[in-house]
Structure 1
Amino acid sequence: MTDQPTPMMAQYLAIREANPGALLFYRMGDFYEMFFDDAVAAAAALDIALTRRGTHQGQPIPMCGVPVHAAESYLLTLIRKGFRVAIAEQMEDPAEARKRGSKSVVARDVVRLVTPGTLTEESLLEARRHNFLAAYATVRDDAALAWVDISTGTLRVMNCPSSRLAPELARIAPRELLAVEGSGLDDLATDQGSVLTELPAASFDSAAAARRLAALFRVETLDGFGSFSRAELAAMGALAAYLDMTQKAQMPLIRPPLREDAQGAMQIDAATRRNLELTQALSGGREGSLLAAIDRSVTAAGARLLERRISAPSRDMGVIRARHDAVGWLLADTGLTARLREALARVPDMDRAVSRLALERGGPRDLSAIRAGLTQGLAVAALLGDDAPPLLAEAVGALSGHEALIDLLDDALVAEPPLLARDGGFTASGFDADLDETRRLRDEGRGVIAQMQADYVARSGVGSLKIKHNNVLGYFIETTATHAEKMLAPPLSQIFIHRQTTANQIRFTTVELSELETRILNARDRALEIERGIFARLRDAVLAQAGPVGQAARALAEIDLAAALGDLAAEQDWTRPVIDDSRAFLIEGGRHPVVEAALRRKSQSFVANDCALTEGETPAIWLLTGPNMAGKSTFLRQNALIAILAQAGSFVPATRAHLGLVSQLFSRVGAADDLARGRSTFMVEMVETAAILNQADDRALVILDEIGRGTATWDGLSIAWAVMEHLHAVNRCRALFATHYHELTALAARLDGVENATVAVREWEGDVIFLHEVIRGAADRSYGVQVARLAGLPDAAVARARDILTSLESGEREGAARPAAIIDDLPLFRAAPPAPAPARTAPSPVDDRLREIQPDSLSPREALDLIYELKGLTA
């Protein structure tokens, strides 16, 4: 016979069954407890103790728990490890449950489902990155992608055929992707670092979606937001349905949807983003990426805006030039820029503060953040004045009109509010008279009692009258029996009410004292109740102005980004690029922003290089040859990054740049495999190259490196040759094509608009010296043997490689028909004899002195004296 679960455990199992696929945080007093498999999984993930609590079906029940006050840190760990967490709170006071009987269980229910794409808490989010939740929907032949950041209220949607899904997910980088059950998007989501959550088909119903969205935005119809396809409605509706499920009807404050046009931004595929390390380094993390190298923003919203701009450089000429105008205007006045950045550094993250308030997860500090942000907005607007360029002038306009809200928050809040509203203490004195009086009773109760005692002494004429307190009677008036007779007789008996007689004392009370006692005892709770009401009023006042506050937040982010890019351009000596509709690609003195920053930290300089791909309407391709380690890959990438920076609205690391709009950017630089899918390095290379040849248009910029090197020499050369001709004749795009196949350099004489370039090197006593300078012309060799020597190959192997290379090159020049014949003629490798021991020489005085020295024990002065001593020994 199996044991029956306790009422509490039965409740736990019922809630657990209603929330499959999520760990259940089950509130029990001051802890969130987990049981059964949840406890085992959570204890391993969180590295906490696994205990036992009772039995179920004859087996001990595993249990673990985390404190409620520290739950956010544990949630962060679980979310980062891919878990979803359902939070079940106590929905009533345990005292109420006890009134129903000893076997009654405290009512509990899930109030929130925490998932990677639905985070709002400051401690769970990266301040300088968006936290997107995306949904992909297909309706017959139509498909769409929608994404939302509930921590900022941003909602976007776009038509997205399946061929564009991977590049768009790479751009957006959602933390969580919603798709219909059986979508088959598991590998794609994993590739993009997203958690895939599959929902029933009903969640993607376009008809139901329209109703969900209308309810979300509190409108009768969505017509005021534009016209959306059924697939777009389905994708946005799935987001709304998921938010309703995870937030348990406490919906976030979402701004009206904005449609994105795929043609409005430079198209960059996932492989190119990875190769160019735009927002994340190949090693993982932000450090080493383009974003990390150029981010000078001083606000979290400005940093998120920069990431969006780098991820999706604009193709709108007017937008690009307006951004350049703003950066250039601030660059011209570095003093103004410095003052602006100082003011902006005090701007909190208003978007996320408003979102938390809307979800009822905010606190007094979120109200304070709104106050500080709007106040600093006025200071920023005053600094910019009236003659700012259009982009900044528009931003200034959004910073005014908030005076009433600022005054309300300023009057209501103390300078440094506490984190939680439930703790009270955030309301300023003088804002609410009732609260002030209640606080006086709470904080100055003894003084109030002393004043009442003095009043009673004066009214009764009994100098020994005292007001005292004990746990049985509470507050009472006490006097000696001698004086009590006076108080028991009229008219004082109408004021003082007899309560108790002891051996030596008689105790009284008054109506006034009883009321005061009640007020003092309830003062703390009453003060907290009043402050909760004040917080609700202030929150409602902020949410009523959520639209204008959001516009002010976005305006401050725009100003911050322009000032940051102006500061960057001033410090790094960047220049404004010329952007037009031509096919020009002319860069003088171009530099790689990430590599240059790394060299600067080592007090080293970067060798700047030119790049000119403009030949009228003829395809412009540079065929780049030269040894490894000479800087070819750096040169390739820097030109791609300059194009991205220019169209993102930034100045660029060059002395001059004239760029025709780049519609698409493709980069195939570096080798990688995909063993999980059974793809070799060469297969990955061919897949990525195929995508480029099939998609690149005549406004694209293509960066290719070492095409065909992963297979046999003649196969590889053939593929590289064909790719080169296809780019020239079919794609007709601008391209940089780096190769070690020197045979390809002959194409420059046969194809119009193809030009050879090489990275200059010098040889010195058998070594190769890299000059990192790109010049016109072709390399005559790859210097691979010299590079191998620099890498540390044994001398014997390097010498053997030289012999073989000489024989192969000689055979080629002499017209040898069969490479095998050359191999047959070469003697086999033999282990090199040991090098002869160096001739012994008598030790010099310098050698003897150096043997005596202990460097770690030398002071700076002793080291300097030693240098002079050694110099004297060599004289």
Structure 2
Amino acid sequence: MTAQVTPMMAQFLEIKAQHRDALLFYRMGDFYEMFFDDAVAAAEALDIALTKRGKHLGEDIPMCGVPVHSAEGYFLTLIRKGFRVAVCEQMEDPAEAKKRGSKAVVHRAVVRLVTPGTLTEDTLLEARRHNYLVAYADIRGESSLAWTDISTGAFHVMPCPLVRLAPELARLAPREILVADGMSNDTVSLIEETGAAITPLSPSSFDSGSAERRIQSLFQVKSIESFGSFTRSDLAAMGAIIDYLEITQKGKLPLLRAPSRTLAQRMMQIDAATRRNLELTTSINGGRAGSLLATIDRTLTAGGARLLEHRLSSPSTQIPIVTERLDAVSACVADSALSETLRDTLRKVPDMDRALSRLGLDRGGPRDLAAIRNGLAQAAHLHETLRNQDLPKVLSDSVNALSGHDDLLNLLEAALIAEPPLLARDGGFIAPGYDADLDDTRQLRDEGKGIIGKMQAEFIATTGIQSLKIKHNNVLGYFIETTATHAQKMLSPPLSETFIHRQTTANQVRFTTVELSEIETKILNAGNRALEIEKTLFQSLKQAVLTRNEQVGAAAAALAEIDLTAALAHLARSENWVRAQIDDSRDFVVASGRHPVVERALQKEGEPFIANDCTLTAEGDKAALTLLTGPNMAGKSTYLRQNALIAILAQMGSFVPATSAKIGLVSQVFSRVGASDDLARGRSTFMVEMVETAAILNQADERALVILDEIGRGTATYDGLSIAWATLEHLHEVNRCRALFATHYHEMTSLADRMDGVKNATVAVREWEGEVIFLHEVRPGAADRSYGVQVAKLAGLPASVVARAHDVLDALEKGEREGGERQKALIDDLPLFSATPAPAPQSVKPSPVADRLKDIHPDMLTPKEALDLIYELKSLEKD
């Protein structure tokens, strides 16, 4: 027999039918409950107990639940595992529902869809990183990319042909990407490679006509021309984001800033492979530690950290902009006292952007108001410190944005206590003296507790029962409690005329009086009244902030700019970095350049970093290439990477790790360093290498900086050499760019004699008693050997393998000199491999100098004895 569907379950099924693609968190009292397939999936993902509740169509209904107060942590776990969550709240008090009948169901509705790109809570976000929601629109062959971070209000759009989509998505690293239903599989596959959640929307969400109306409505303008000129695809991408936010936020749209149109030509273009190879914002293992971002981050505020990541991901190609940023950093480097004063103040600046966003979405609380207050207070302090200073444009513009908030700051300082609670419903966050009505109500509420204590003392005196207590619970309210033994006295005249029996439990008897009931009403009303007043005041304070959200947002942006400038100055001073000269030439000249991440790692081990020069001087429209040879482990890859990083750092507005640098504007940075299989897409290591190399040769322009490491090593020797040779020729003749080309193919060094603009360089090594010593110095010239066998020995290969490799190498080199047939004969004559290790090389007899030095204790020598020792050692060395 089929069980009848209960009204509550019928309501759940109705709401669930509208949100089939999300887990429905159905509010029931203090818990969010999930049922049916949602419960099964959530229980597994969250590792919580799966139970059951009633039956549906003759089957048990699976159920699981999580407490409301700790739901955010569960949201985060589900989002990271690829789920979307529909939050269904009770929209009325259960008491109201009961008025409609005993079987009436509390009205519920979904108030929010939690998705990866629409998070705002601090507990769900990384404070120092943006959380981007992206939309890609393609209208009649014209494409655009729009993105927003609703937790900060950033809103941007840019033209984005399909060939630029992957690099731009790599730059933004979005959490969620919106696409139109029916988008081509090739485009979807390209987007899937980012690892972001993909959300398809109906084509109507991308309609450019509707999009324009959505933008006008959101920003309450009659025309969007004041924001700039936008194409149809721009409008479609922005409109899709707004439509999606209306769907997920259920009409409570975030405080987005006016849309800003970005052009790719204004940013250095860095593709996904290059970002990964250079480890700009994440290391090869996927974490932040070990990346360039983690190494250079000296920011003190969340806003400053997000701005740093943005600048590092999008270095500018506009020389005036780069110069202005460097001027600001230079000013702080020159005035270290000013810089440290700024940093002392910035340490106290909270994350105003995200507090403002939560208030706008009605998810904020008293602490968000306090964050705005504290941030504006520090802004006022910085303005007072800097307003009379002669500052560069970037800093002076920022200082101007810090003023004009006195009215709002005074309001919040007067209204809020120093450390308010998280939630408005907790009350107690409005400061005494701010609202007279609230003060009076609080006085009644607080003195009521004293009155209860006084009444208890009077009742004890009247009854003579010392154990009598006045207590409170949510069912009975205030009541008088005594033991069953003493209760007989109170149930008998004359006390029974005053004390009215209410309840008897196993060990206690409870009473009330007319006077106690009257006092209870006044006290309870005072408490609820005080809470209602505070909630009303919270709404008025929130509205006061939201009315000035643009000015508050501008102050937050100014604080982030100042923080980033001071942080880069602190980095430059502490690491001995210098300002690069940026111009519109095609020179790339670095003196004593260093790799910041490797240098930091060596510092921790107490080892020095060997700095090296790099000179790529491109005359006219000719190329400038350096062909770098040298053994493995000598530092070729580090040298290549450090010069690419120096270009990126300079154009993001930072000083660079060198003693001097002149950077002719770099439009693109391409890197092909290292490789791995891409088995999921059926690509071998060599195939990945060739795909990345093809992208460089097809896209690099004359202002590009290209670094290539060991092209062609993944295939047969002569195949690899021919590919590397042809690649270098193409870079020289067609791309005409600046490039560093590391190779083991020594045959290629002859190209330096045949091509203008190509020069040889090598990483120096020394041999000592059969051992190889890496000097890590880049010098002009070509390497004569690869030292691969010596490196293999250092890696710990068995001695027998190393000895065998030496035999084979000698035979191959001898055969190469004497001709192909002779080489084959020599190889055929080689004895078969023997597992018996080759005889260990005889140890070198210790020298008399070494023997003498063993007995010397330098700390015990006088200057005269030291001098005599030097003469003695000199004599022994001659013998």
Q: Residue 809 of structure 2 corresponds to which residue in structure 1?
A: 805
Q: Residue 491 of structure 1 corresponds to which residue in structure 2?
A: none
Normalised by the length of structure 1, the TM-score is 0.89
Q: Residue 865 of structure 1 corresponds to which residue in structure 2?
A: none
1:705-744 equivalence runs, <5 A:
705-744=709-748
Q: Is the 8 A contact 1:189 1:195 kept in 2?
A: no
Q: Residue 279 of structure 1 corresponds to which residue in structure 2?
A: 281
* Shift in alpha-carbon separation, 1:837–1:807, aligned structure 2, 3 A: closer
Matched, 1:636 2:640: yes
Cα distance in 1 for residues equivalent to 2:386 and 2:362: 35
Cα distance in 1 for residues equivalent to 2:45 and 2:822: 61
Cα distance in 2 for residues equivalent to 1:385 and 1:512: 64
- Moved segments of 4+, more than 3 Å: 446-454, 468-476, 501-519, 817-822, 833-839
Q: Is the 8 A contact 1:585 1:614 kept in 2?
A: yes
Cα distance in 1 for residues equivalent to 2:838 and 2:746: 38
Q: Is the 8 A contact 2:132 2:173 kept in 1?
A: yes
Q: Is the 8 A contact 1:310 1:644 kept in 2?
A: yes
Report % sequence identity.
67
Per-residue Cα deviation, 1:775-806 (whole angstroms, up to 9, x for no partner): 11000111100011111111111111111111
1:810-829 equivalence runs, <5 A:
810-816=814-820, 820-829=824-833
Cα distance in 1 for residues equivalent to 2:496 and 2:50: 60
Cα distance in 2 for residues equivalent to 1:816 and 1:305: 61
In structure 1, give the amino acid aligned to 2:541: L
Greater CA drift, 335-344 or 116-125: 335-344
Per-residue Cα deviation, 1:317-343 (whole angstroms, up to 9, x for no partner): 111011111111101111221121111
Query: Alignment partner of 2:529: what SS?
Result: helix
Q: Residue 794 of structure 1 corresponds to which residue in structure 2?
A: 798
Query: Alignment partner of 1:441: what SS?
Result: helix
Q: Residue 173 of structure 1 corresponds to which residue in structure 2?
A: 173
Q: RMSD of the alignment, in Å?
A: 2.7
Q: Residue 309 of structure 1 corresponds to which residue in structure 2?
A: 311
* Shift in alpha-carbon separation, 1:834–1:824, aligned structure 2, 3 A: closer
How far off is 1:103 after superposition?
2.4
Q: Which of 402, 407, 424 pairs up with 1:404?
A: 407
Q: Residue 783 of structure 2 corresponds to which residue in structure 1?
A: 779
Per-residue Cα deviation, 1:378-422 (whole angstroms, up to 9, x for no partner): 112222243111110110000000000000000000010001001
Q: Is the 8 A contact 2:456 2:470 kept in 1?
A: no
How far off is 1:187 after superposition?
3.2
Cα distance in 2 for residues equivalent to 1:411 and 1:363: 17
Cα distance in 2 for residues equivalent to 1:836 and 1:141: 70
Q: How many residues align?
A: 805
Q: Which of 422, 425, 432 pairs up with 1:419?
A: 422
Greater CA drift, 390-399 or 46-55: 46-55
Q: Residue 562 of structure 1 corresponds to which residue in structure 2?
A: 565
* Shift in alpha-carbon separation, 1:66–1:779, aligned structure 2, 3 A: same
Per-residue Cα deviation, 1:548-600 (whole angstroms, up to 9, x for no partner): 00000000000000000000000000000000000110000100000011111
Q: Which of 577, 582, 604 pairs up with 1:579?
A: 582
Q: Which of 693, 699, 702 pairs up with 2:703?
A: 699
How far off is 1:191 after superposition?
2.1
Q: Residue 489 of structure 2 corresponds to which residue in structure 1?
A: none
How far off is 1:92 after superposition?
1.2
Cα distance in 1 for residues equivalent to 2:298 and 2:789: 43
Q: Is the 8 A contact 1:336 1:383 kept in 2?
A: no
In structure 2, give the amino acid aligned to 1:363: G
Cα distance in 1 for residues equivalent to 2:838 and 2:592: 50
Q: Is the 8 A contact 2:137 2:237 kept in 1?
A: yes
Matched, 1:89 2:108: no
Cα distance in 2 for residues equivalent to 1:825 and 1:731: 48
Query: Alignment partner of 2:165: what SS?
Result: helix
Query: Alignment partner of 2:409: what SS?
Result: helix
Q: Is the 8 A contact 2:452 2:470 kept in 1?
A: no
* Shift in alpha-carbon separation, 1:63–1:749, aligned structure 2, 3 A: same
Cα distance in 2 for residues equivalent to 1:103 and 1:210: 47
* Shift in alpha-carbon separation, 1:819–1:254, aligned structure 2, 3 A: farther
* Shift in alpha-carbon separation, 1:469–1:724, aligned structure 2, 3 A: closer
Q: Is the 8 A contact 2:811 2:823 kept in 1?
A: no
Q: Residue 435 of structure 2 corresponds to which residue in structure 1?
A: 432
Q: Residue 537 of structure 2 corresponds to which residue in structure 1?
A: 534
Query: Alignment partner of 2:627: what SS?
Result: strand
Q: Residue 656 of structure 2 corresponds to which residue in structure 1?
A: 652
Cα distance in 1 for residues equivalent to 2:280 and 2:449: 65
In structure 1, give the amino acid aligned to 2:705: L
Q: Residue 132 of structure 1 corresponds to which residue in structure 2?
A: 132
Query: Alignment partner of 1:303: what SS?
Result: helix
Cα distance in 2 for residues equivalent to 1:755 and 1:30: 73
Query: Alignment partner of 2:634: what SS?
Result: coil
Per-residue Cα deviation, 1:670-702 (whole angstroms, up to 9, x for no partner): 011211111111111111111100110000000
Query: Alignment partner of 2:617: what SS?
Result: coil
Cα distance in 2 for residues equivalent to 1:721 and 1:347: 55
How far off is 1:376 after superposition?
0.3
Greater CA drift, 348-357 or 383-392: 383-392
Q: Is the 8 A contact 1:574 1:652 kept in 2?
A: yes
Per-residue Cα deviation, 1:69-101 (whole angstroms, up to 9, x for no partner): 000111111111111100111111112222322
Q: Is the 8 A contact 1:347 1:373 kept in 2?
A: yes
* Shift in alpha-carbon separation, 1:511–1:161, aligned structure 2, 3 A: same
Cα distance in 1 for residues equivalent to 2:714 and 2:374: 58
Query: Alignment partner of 1:801: what SS?
Result: helix
Q: Residue 844 of structure 1 corresponds to which residue in structure 2?
A: none
In structure 2, give the amino acid aligned to 1:36: F
* Shift in alpha-carbon separation, 1:446–1:362, aligned structure 2, 3 A: closer
* Shift in alpha-carbon separation, 1:819–1:172, aligned structure 2, 3 A: farther
In structure 1, give the amino acid aligned to 2:773: I
* Shift in alpha-carbon separation, 1:134–1:103, aligned structure 2, 3 A: same
Q: Which of 372, 375, 393 pairs up with 2:374?
A: 372
Q: Residue 354 of structure 2 corresponds to which residue in structure 1?
A: 352
* Shift in alpha-carbon separation, 1:554–1:826, aligned structure 2, 3 A: same
In structure 1, give the amino acid aligned to 2:447: E
Q: Which of 731, 746, 770 pairs up with 2:750?
A: 746
Q: Is the 8 A contact 1:26 1:32 kept in 2?
A: yes
Q: Residue 222 of structure 1 corresponds to which residue in structure 2?
A: 224
* Shift in alpha-carbon separation, 1:520–1:811, aligned structure 2, 3 A: same
Matched, 1:295 2:297: yes
Q: Residue 102 of structure 2 corresponds to which residue in structure 1?
A: 102
Normalised by the length of structure 2, the TM-score is 0.88
How far off is 1:149 after superposition?
0.4
1:603-614 equivalence runs, <5 A:
603-614=606-617
How far off is 1:146 after superposition?
0.1
Q: Is the 8 A contact 1:757 1:775 kept in 2?
A: yes
Cα distance in 2 for residues equivalent to 1:430 and 1:297: 38
Query: Alignment partner of 1:346: what SS?
Result: coil
* Shift in alpha-carbon separation, 1:676–1:474, aligned structure 2, 3 A: closer
Matched, 1:51 2:44: no
Query: Alignment partner of 1:103: what SS?
Result: coil
1:435-454 equivalence runs, <5 A:
435-447=438-450
Cα distance in 2 for residues equivalent to 1:787 and 1:4: 77
Matched, 1:767 2:771: yes
How far off is 1:451 after superposition?
10
In structure 1, give the amino acid aligned to 2:714: G
Cα distance in 1 for residues equivalent to 2:841 and 2:745: 42
Query: Alignment partner of 2:96: what SS?
Result: helix
Structure 2 segments unaligned to the other structure (5+ residues): 458-468, 480-491, 500-511, 844-879
Cα distance in 2 for residues equivalent to 1:111 and 1:384: 45
